Structure 1
Amino acid sequence: MSNSNERNVYFGPDSLKKYFDPDCQPPLPLVELPEHLNPFFHDGVRIYAKMMTMHPANNVKAMPAAKVNGRSALNMLESSVVPNKTNTIIEYSSGSTVISMSMIARVMHGVQDTRAFLSNKTSDAKLKLMQFFGLSITLFGGPSQPEPADERGGIQSARRMAKESDDIVNPNQYENNNNWQSHMRWTGPQIFKQLPEINVLCAGMGTSGTMTGLGTYFKGVKPSVVRLGVCTAPGDRVPGPRSFALMRPVEFPWKEAVDTIEEVGSSDSYTLSLKLCREGLVCGPSSGFNLQGLFQMLSKRKAEGKVSELAGPDGVTHCVFLCCDLPYQYIDEYFQKLGAAEFPAIRNERLTKVDLHRYDEAWERDALEVLPQVYGSPRPLAQTPLSEITLKPQHRVLDLRKPADFQAWHLPESINVPLSSLGPHTVSPFSDPAVLEAQWVELEQTFGDARLVSDLGSHHVLVVCYDGNTARVATSVLRAKGLDADSVRGGHHALRMYGIGSETTGPEVSVSADCPASKMPIASTVSVSAVPP
């Protein structure tokens, strides 16, 4: 394993190829768990996480698809990809393998079309992740982890398609020996170079490629290393690994690569993964799965008084477990598996269902700026006789205040659209979530009337309230419905400062579902500058 790129910089026209080539990378980090994460620390045990998540593709499955011996060959792709002929890669994969293949196929071979065959029980988050990386997805029914030889499953369907077409390649991670041999080529030597004192190696068993390669490597270079394989508990499921029963048909020589096997459940896997993430080692559930398997083995040894038998000449037992992938695509599963008690509560969670539209500072207008655009007058509005103040064509002014307050004072020719959730002493919706919820729901209902929205649709709408905040929410709602709307910053309080408005003795003007704005009478006004004290 060469490593001449100490600066971790990748130059030139083939920079991306070098970036994905383990021979051009510094070793992936090996991080010791601090004492509070290691329950066996005082038993002379040191535990290290091999951060396979730090590979450019962010998961352990990228290694089988990387370059071999410094040449432009791929471990699982080169044996079957034909330059200028292969157009499509097809692989049955739960996510990490095929995502890594898609990236490396583009970078190394220029193959743009990678297709994922996978279970119809795959989570929506993982499906979207594969779509994000440009993968074409085909779903299959039946077991979420089909036996590799089952003709009814997606593994054999991918294999058949590749046999039927010369331009399709199916690397088949379940049968391709380049899968596990990649870990003999890179992962094993990296770990041994970083920690020659290693005494225990732990990895999960899925296709078994990782454990087969690592176990085979350490059997050759340091036979004293205890090789621990971890399988899922019967009837349980952790993304990636398999149950021991499902390992029987796997054709890799995994039985010769492990010394002992532990079975781990999903609850422990997600719990430990969450704990590692919160402590700074960001990793997915299969990483917590591997660590729990190691804990179980050490617990059994401790109960038998045999932990010290694992130690090396320095009297310390050095254990390495693999962190295989990241947690983000499994976020929903963490909440399902562990329950709400494991996660901080969200304050004001009621707001996740309301106030769903965007805001823009440009929609909240200063009165002196916006009123001349709405009203026509040759002089400043506060100095203009009432007869000379009229709404410009294609403008509407909506006042959300109570009818009595509207009657006492309002902008000329404005229309009252009173809200039951708004009063002169109502606190700002942005300081009380209950107020925001009530106002947003009412505004959605009010402006959900198709006739009203249709009438307003051809107008610029200016919205006024007591302090400007509810009008700001209303503007967000109106804009979401495609209307050209603004609000007055500071609302009625700001308008009073400029002496714009009127006392009225005319009829109350309000909008209802049976009386759209176009049919409303215009409130009579008697004075431009008369403002109540």
Structure 2
Amino acid sequence: MAPISDDTKNLNERNVYFGADSLKKYFDPDCQPPLPLVELPEYLNPYYHDGVRIYAKMMTMHPANNVKAMPALNLLESSVVPQKTNRIIEYSSGSTVISMSMVARVMHGINDTRAFLSNKTSDAKLKLMQFFGLDITLFGGPSQPEPLDERGGIQNARRQAQESESIINPNQYENDKNWQSHIRWTGPQIYKQLPEINVLCAGMGTSGTLTGLGTYFKQVKPSVYRLGVCTAAGDRVPGPRSFALMRPVEFPWKDAVDTIEEVGSTDSYTWSLKLCREGLVCGPSSGFNLQGLFQMLEKRKAAGTLSELAGPDGLIHSVFLCCDLPYQYIGEYFEKLNAEQFPPIRNEYLTKVDLYRYDEAWERDAIDVLPTVYTSTGPLSTTPLQDIALKPNHLVLDLRRPEDFSSWHLPSSTNLPLSSTGPHTPSPFSDPTILEAQWRELEKLFSEPQLLADLQPHHVLLVCYNGDSARVATSVLRAKGLEADSVRGGLHALRAYEAGLGNGVVGMSESVSKPIAATVSVAAVPLD
């Protein structure tokens, strides 16, 4: 067991890490300032006026962002054999093995860390492990197998390590270096930061955190009341176990705890959400620990024994651990909690429409339209209308209503009127209901096989009243693999450009419009 110290060794008050081994120092708790200890404000502490002060120990602020970083450091330090170990295998639901993968790379130069875990692990957590470069093997059976069950992944990891001298299985479930890491680092940090501590609260999964902290404080300050928190029977919170599943755990946790509370998932996620919104970003197991502390305080208050926990100053200084971050469990918050706890998404229907990308390069200024799309025997600005022609493989689609198209349009353009737009219709980007209707109409229209076949050989220029409907249409066509652009500013920009020319382009409405095919000359496709 690591020696107990009443102080931490780090002197890095500036929190800066230099040199070739900067990352190693960054991960080493002995080279860091203590992880933050933050008192909850009165409005988050229902027992404030009972003389209770509650502090969150932010284990999430370690570079690995979770409480399992400490065991990972201690386990690998004692297990890795330099120049021999090249692979690490660990059965873990997430935080331990993710921390191990980072610690293995940074501290030991090992890039091959493999995670054995339950096939019931969420997709988000599996992707998180892949993100951190872990090789994953899934196992059936209970999501939290008993450590000694020969059928489970824990013993499978152990067997594989026994078969090769280059593979290690640190085995967080049986290796005393797990809980001793909190005697080495976490306990001394808390005691240095808050020597007045009266109550300590930690969740129980492998039980390493509580075993280590409970053992430490039993030796340095026996008056500290040690609270363990288990999940309520039949419920689940990521990380901790139910009390029934603590039976096979061989760590000396029973000597490290004074009482146990059982907490459900709804309270855990609720308090995690509250803490996050107030600036203490932490996951469900952190809310779980806080709720366990509240339950214990409430029971003692009802029994009239709360004051027995107070120190010489008359206050009860209570510390609970914030163990991980919420991000990998985001979906579960919405499953566990009522919708009323989350602000609404306005215009949420837009999540199902306007699904394709936009690119400013697809919007053409009016001044570029004629030289880009049309050709003539002389300068376009002086060439008579009858001598202007579309370039080969170019096509102009005008999305305006037939009567507006008839009064003015670009030479040789084709009318493909939309029912969702008109001369006085607001921009689809200023009115989400118009965008929804317009996108659905365009998506249906441009999904017609014959129309797509007719458009396929062409580079399509789209024209509308103000440019925005054509911009949406361009996005849809581009998503379907066609070359398409729109006129920025639409009809208004084109007419302004025409007025500025003062030449033969005036009178475009006299030109003949050409349909692509019979299917294109029909009115806009009606919406469902």
Using the size of structure 2 for normalisation, the TM-score is: 0.93
Query: Aligned residue for 1:475?
Result: 474
Alignment partners' CA distance in 2, 1:93 and 1:511:
63
Partner of 1:293, secondary structure, is helix
Structure 1 residues 64 and 441: alpha-carbon distance in aligned structure 2, compared to 1, 3 A threshold: same
Cα 1:371–1:505 change in 2 (3 A) is closer
Letter in 2 for 1:101: M
Among all aligned residue pairs of Structure 1 and Structure 2, give the percentage whose two residues are the same amino acid.
Answer: 79
Deviation at 1:327, TM superposition (A): 0.4
Partner of 1:225: 224
Q: 1:120 to 1:170 in 2, by over 3 A?
A: same
Looking at structure 1, the residues matched to 514 and 275 of structure 2 have their Cα atoms a distance apart, in angstroms, of 65
Contact 2:415 2:513 in 1 (8 A): no
| Contact 2:66/2:325, CA 8 A, preserved across alignment | yes
Q: Distance in 1 between matches of 2:353 and 2:518?
A: 23
The worse-fitting range, judged by mean Cα deviation, of 237-246 and 86-95 is: 86-95
* 1:491 to partner: Cα distance: 0.7
| 1:8 correspondence with 2:7 | no
- Following the alignment from structure 1 to structure 2, what is the Cα–Cα distance between the partners of residues 6 and 454? 69
Secondary structure of the structure 2 residue equivalent to 1:277: helix
- 3-state secondary structure, aligned to 2:79: coil
Contact 1:29–1:50, Cα closer than 8 Å, also in 2: yes
Summarize deviations over 1:52-105 as a string: whole Å, max 9, x none. Answer: 000000000001122xxxxxxxx2123332223322211111111110000011
Letter of the structure 2 residue corresponding to residue 245 of structure 1:
A
Match of 2:262 in 1: 263
1:62 matched to 2:69: yes
Corresponding position of 1:346: 345
Match of 1:98 in 2: 97
Q: Distance in 1 between matches of 2:351 and 2:407?
A: 37
User: Equivalents in 2 of 1:46, 1:511: separation in Å?
Assistant: 78
Question: Structure 1's 511 and 149: CA in aligned 2 closer, same or farther, altered over 3 A?
Answer: farther
Aligned equivalents of 1:399, 1:406: Cα separation in 2: 7
Matched residue of 2:116: which SS?
A: strand
Counterpart CA distance in 1 for 2:320 and 2:517 is 68
In structure 2, do the counterparts of structure 1 residues 18 and 441 end up closer, same or farther at CA, with 3 Å as the change threshold?
Answer: same
The structure-2 alpha-carbon separation of the partners of 1:507 and 1:196, relative to structure 1 and needing over 3 Å to count, comes to closer
- Does the C-alpha gap of structure 1 residues 349 and 481 become closer, same or farther in structure 2, counting only changes over 3 Å? same
1:380 is displaced (CA, Å) by 5.4
8 A contact 1:462–1:487 mirrored in 2: yes
Residues 307-326 of structure 1: matches in 2 within 5 Å? 307-326=306-325
Unmatched tracts of structure 2, length 5 or more: 1-7, 499-504, 523-528
Higher mean alpha-carbon deviation, 327-336 vs 479-488, is at 479-488
1:53 alignment partner in structure 2: 60
Once residues 477 and 165 of structure 2 are traced to their aligned partners in structure 1, the CA distance between those partners, rounded to angstroms, is: 57
- Are the equivalent residues in 1 in contact too, given 2:413–2:514 (CA < 8 A)? no
Contact residue 290 and residue 321 of structure 1 kept, 8 A:
yes
Q: Tell me the number of residue pairs that the alignment of Structure 1 and Structure 2 aligns.
A: 508
**Hey, what's the Cα distance between the residues in 1 that align with 2:11 and 2:92?**
33
Amino acid at match of 1:34: P
**Cα distance between partner residues in 1 of 2:164 and 2:450:** 59
State the Cα distance separating 1:326 from its structure 2 match.
0.4
Partner SS state of residue 76, structure 2? coil
Change (3 A) 1:511 1:437: farther
- State the Cα distance separating 1:455 from its structure 2 match: 4.3
CA displacement, residues 117-171 of structure 1 (integer Å, 9 cap, x when unaligned): 1112211111111111111112222211111112222111211211222222111
1:502 and 2:508 correspond: yes
Aligned twin of 1:523: none
Report which stretch shifted further, 428-437 or 371-380.
371-380
Structure 1 residue runs of 5 or longer lacking an equivalent are: 67-74, 517-533
Partner SS, residue 346 of structure 1: coil
Distance in 2 separating the partners of 1:300 and 1:421:
64
8 Å Cα contact 2:416-2:521 kept in structure 1: no
| Post-superposition offset of 1:506 | 5.4
Deviations 1:255-306 (A, max 9, x none): 0000000000000000000000000000000000000000000000110111
Aligned positions of 1:417-436 closer than 5 A: 417-436=416-435
Q: Could you tell me which of 37, 44, 48 is aligned with 1:37?
A: 44
RMSD: 1.8
Give the aligned partner of residue 372 of structure 1. Answer: 371
1:76 counterpart SS class: helix
Q: Distance in 1 between matches of 2:169 and 2:19?
A: 31
Q: Distance in 1 between matches of 2:214 and 2:154?
A: 25
Q: For 1:211-360, what aligned pairs fall within 5 Å after superposition?
A: 211-360=210-359
Matching of residue 130 in structure 1 with residue 129 in structure 2: yes
Give the Å deviation of 1:378.
5.3
* Gap change, CA 1:512 and 1:354, over 3 Å in 2: farther
One-letter amino acid matched to 1:377: S
> What CA distance in whole angstroms lies between the structure 1 residues aligned with 2:85 and 2:518?
66
TM-score (normalizing by structure 1): 0.92
> For residues 513 and 256 of structure 1, do their structure 2 counterparts lie closer, same or farther at Cα, with a shift above 3 Å needed?
farther
TM superposition shift of 1:199: 0.1
Asked whether the 8 Å contact 1:394–1:460 carries over to 2, the reply is yes
CA contact (8 A) 1:417 1:510 kept: no
Deviates more, 1:280-289 or 1:75-84: 75-84
Are the counterparts in 2 of residues 403 and 508 from structure 1 also a CA contact under 8 Å?
A: no
Structure 1 CA distance, aligned partners of 2:138 and 2:35? 34
Residue 188 of structure 1 corresponds to which residue in structure 2?
Answer: 187
CA gap 1:62/1:229 in 2 versus in 1, 3 angstroms: same
Q: Give the secondary structure class of the aligned counterpart of 1:18.
A: helix
Q: Which residue of 1 aligns with 2:502?
A: none
Paired residue type of 2:196 = E
Match in the other structure for 1:528:
none
Q: Distance in 2 between matches of 1:160 and 1:247?
A: 23
Q: Which moved more, 1:448-457 or 1:99-108?
A: 448-457
TM superposition shift of 1:440:
1.1
Q: Which moved more, 1:451-460 or 1:439-448?
A: 451-460
Whole-Å separation in 2 of the counterparts to 1:259 and 1:145: 25
State whether residues 416 and 511 of structure 1, in contact with CA within 8 Å, keep that contact through their aligned partners in structure 2: no
Alpha-carbon distance in structure 1 between the residues aligned to 2:214 and 2:27: 24
Post-superposition offset of 1:504: 4.3
| 1:297-328 per-position Cα deviation (integer Å, ceiling 9, x unaligned) | 00001101111110001111000000000000
Deviation at residue 512 of structure 1 after TM alignment: 6.2
Q: Are the equivalent residues in 1 in contact too, given 2:227–2:257 (CA < 8 A)?
A: yes
